[in-house]
Amino acid sequence: GDEPDNALKLKTLYHEYAHSQLHGLKSAFKDRPRAYQETQAEAVAYVAMQNIGVDTSNYSLGYVATWAKDKAVIHSALS
């Protein structure tokens, strides 16, 4: 069916919305490195999807791993 595809679209929407709220022109995190911002946005998307009962860890963990080469960056972004 279309569920995985639709779930990924919704997760992407959450990810982009997180960017708009966390990394916009007046936001607290706007000047953080791209890896930090991507990790943070994907973490928000992952948690949002978990909250509606959809596990996107197969996608999200790989995505975060691609960006967050530095464990300090990942820890900071997720906190």
Q: Quote the pTM value.
A: 0.84
Alpha helices in the chain (DSSP H): 3-22, 34-51, 57-67, 71-78
pLDDT, averaged across the chain: 88
Q: Label residue 4 by pLDDT band (50, 70, 90).
A: confident
The residue among 40, 39, 54, 63 whose CA lies nearest residue 6 is 54
What are the residue boundaries of the structural domains of the chain, listed by start? 2-78
